Amino acid sequence: METVLFCPTQMELDAVMDVAQGAGVPGFVTGLGPASTAHSVTRFLENNSVSFIILAGIAGAYRPELLGGNRAFVAKSEVFADLGRCSHNSIEPIKLAEQEVKEYFRLVEEGDEIHTFVTASHGLALANMATVSCSSGTFERARTIAEGFDVEIENMEGAAAALSCAAYDVRLIELRAVSNLAGETDKSKWDIPGALGQLSKGLRELLVALPLR
């Protein structure tokens, strides 16, 4: 087994499973949030040898122009964005003199095969992403994270998967489709069906074009 797919929820896995099965890639649900994701991915890697893990799910965008557009996003980097001291309008990372606190993960390097493919793609784009334990419930908090970490997309799993994959020297490819603006709590303004459809298209493009199997 060369590649395995993880999705945060059964809804997301159901949306892309036909594509994954067609490519011979097994799929699993991690559960929502960093803790469930780290546990699920670590437990899997303890018992299986793979070269690639794809994490695919929907997400919120910090900028309105990322909504719609018929594309999905591949994480260029991931960061634990609320692992620290949170105040009204800032998030201060925790610093320990005697211990590294691993918060940032570079997932795609300029010039590697994934970078080259995605930058040439019409249906995919690279984006810096933030992982949070609590999704942004106000535009103010979303702006604080976006500006503080220079990120474009918010999710609840990516950095946790990256942490587990790094421990086992496994390449993580994170694929996200945008369903809403981060901080928007009116779900009538979300487009979950559209995002799930775009997620499926993005996964199909990745699996067909890259030697992941």
pLDDT in tens, 29-41: 999 999 999 999 9
In the prediction, which pLDDT does 1 show?
A: 62
Domain ranges, ordered by start, for the chain? 3-209
In this prediction, residue 130 carries a pLDDT of 98
The pLDDT of residue 89: 72
Asked if CATH classification 3.30.300.30 holds for the domain at 3-209, the reply, yes or no, is no
- Predicted local confidence at residue 128, as pLDDT: 98
Q: How far apart are CA 41 and CA 111, in angstroms?
A: 27
- Tally Cβ neighbours within 10 Å of residue 88: 7
Per-residue pLDDT of the chain (213 residues; tens, 9 = 90+): 689 999 999 999 999 999 999 999 999 999 999 999 999 999 999 999 999 999 999 999 999 999 987 899 999 999 999 876 676 676 767 776 666 667 899 999 988 888 998 988 889 999 999 999 999 999 999 999 999 999 999 999 999 999 999 999 999 999 999 999 999 999 999 999 999 999 999 999 999 766 665
Token pair of 132 as six digits: 């949070």
pLDDT of residue 8: 98
pLDDT value, residue 69: 78
pTM recorded for the entire structure: 0.92
